[in-house]
Amino acid sequence: MASQVDGAVGQILEPSVLTFRDLIIDVAYKLGIASYGSTGTDAPSIPTDNHDLTLCKRIVNKAIRMFIHDGPKPSGWKWLRPIAQVDLWPQISVDATGSTVYVTSTGYSSTTSTTTLTLTAPSFSTQFYPSMELRQIWLGGNPPPGTQGWNGISTSTSGLPYVITAWLAPDQIQVFGQLSSTLASTSTQPITYSFVQLGDYTLPLNFGGQYLGEITYIQNTNRGMILRWTSEAAIRSRRQNYNIESGTPYEAAVRLIPTPHYQSLRNSASALAFPRWRWEMMTWRIPSEFLHILFPYSLHFQDLSTYNDLTPAPFGHDESIRSACLAVAEMEVEDTLQGPYMQYYRQICLPNSYRVDAASAPPAIGYFGNPTARGGKWPSIRTFRDHWYQRPTVPVFTNP
């Protein structure tokens, strides 16, 4: 997970360093079900028994939900209001030569039924953006005219469709299904690609459908119009009654990714066993160039799925997350609400997390008007009265 940005104050929050694996091991050690290797002398690790492992996973995810629920009243944790950046791209023409992007290696996971494609670092014009999750790609050959998605990693099978299930890095994506191991066995494999743009972009995995503020372009974009939210029905109506119109988008809306992409949006790269609904953003018009937009939203937590997943809370709350996991383990397995870890969580860790969260609030109080150069981030009432308020020089109320 990248660094989060607090939507209320714009403060960069350091991401967590606790992985799902770390928390599972802590819970397993607490419950006495950790694995110590075949000889029993290794360091504690993930339980090998499937029942024990499933129990630990459920405890960790329950604990994170409990910590989120225990946020300061009335507004909750500030880190639950991050900023989303969505990358918009124009229609991309086909590169039949495959001279720009190559597949250098592949790796298949039978657990998630996904194949990881490692690519040469693509140029800016062909970069695989996070917004391209769940879009169809074509492996080998060109798809029929007008088909959505990327086309072509050169293989012996022509026109085989795959779905992008996760963007891992600028040079690495995951696709649903198993690709042939011969893709990168002898030499790099070129991608011949094109993209038919319809103006729909997959939103972050932790977006739950609620945006909290205005949508804007990033700074220095120098657009000649203001981007604003509208209803998805309004954009659907425009698309129904107009031909494809490209240019600078001026309207945006969000919606659940609809069928027939049902399997694609539920079979996310996190794990096939954990259904996960996904949202997308619709724009009008279709962009004619690469653009980047920002908006604050409410962070939605469903679960940690893969061992390398990080907790959603920032680094300053890691000890609270860890103690919450051990407290829930006491509650779920040892049937006690007043165990030592529950007391540690409630009396020490949670108050500390409140202080960490409060420290990310604006560092001044008082009048929140126009900023001034006279000390402090925000001016006080006295500064406003002394320097900005213009007292009338004639009586305001006079008799006719």
Which DSSP string do the residues of 367-398 spell out, in sequence order? --SS--SSSSSS--HHHHHHHT----SS-SS-
198-218, pLDDT tens digit by residue? 788 888 888 989 999 999 998
Mean pLDDT within 24-46: 94
CA distance 35 to 180: 34
CA distance 92 to 126: 8
Mean pLDDT within 111-134: 72
DSSP at 273: T
Identify the pLDDT of residue 348: 97
Q: What amino acid occupies position 267?
A: N
Mean pLDDT score of the chain:
77
Split at pLDDT 50, 70, 90, the class of 9 is: very low
DSSP at 322: H
Identify the pLDDT of residue 269: 42
User: Which range is least confidently modeled, 125-139, 150-164, 186-200, 336-350?
Assistant: 150-164
Identify the pLDDT of residue 319: 96
CB 215 within 8 A of CB 294: yes
Our CA dihedral for 260, 286, 85, 300, rounded to 10 degrees, sits at: -30
Identify the pLDDT of residue 8: 39
Identify the pLDDT of residue 56: 96
User: Which range is least confidently modeled, 194-203, 282-291, 322-331?
Assistant: 194-203
CA distance 28 to 65: 19
Which is higher by pLDDT, 140 or 163? 163
- Strand runs labelled E in 65-155: 83-88, 102-109, 114-119, 136-139, 150-151
Identify the pLDDT of residue 179: 77
Split at pLDDT 50, 70, 90, the class of 257 is: confident
Question: What's the half-sphere exposure (Cβ side, CA atoms, 13 Å) at 173?
Answer: 29
Split at pLDDT 50, 70, 90, the class of 337 is: confident
For strands 216-217 and 291-299, give the pairing: antiparallel
**Residue 119, strand partner residues:** 103
Q: Please determine, for residue 84, whether its predicted confidence score (pLDDT) is greater than 70.
A: yes
Q: Please determine, for residue 301, whether its predicted confidence score (pLDDT) is greater than 60.
A: yes
Residue 207: what are its φ and ψ, rounded to 5°?
Answer: -85, 125
Q: Please determine, for residue 87, whether its predicted confidence score (pLDDT) is greater than 80.
A: yes
For strands 286-287 and 246-247, give the pairing: parallel
Which is higher by pLDDT, 226 or 364? 226
CA distance 99 to 231: 41
Contacts of 152 (CB under 8 A, 6+ apart): 98, 138, 139, 140, 141, 142, 191, 192, 193
Give me 292's structure tokens.
Answer: 């980047």
Mean pLDDT within 161-189: 72
Percentage above 90 pLDDT, the chain: 35
Contacts of 123 (CB under 8 A, 6+ apart): 100
Residue 155: what are its φ and ψ, rounded to 5°?
Answer: -140, 175
Identify the pLDDT of residue 262: 45
Which is higher by pLDDT, 285 or 186? 285
pTM of the model: 0.73
Which is higher by pLDDT, 10 or 54? 54
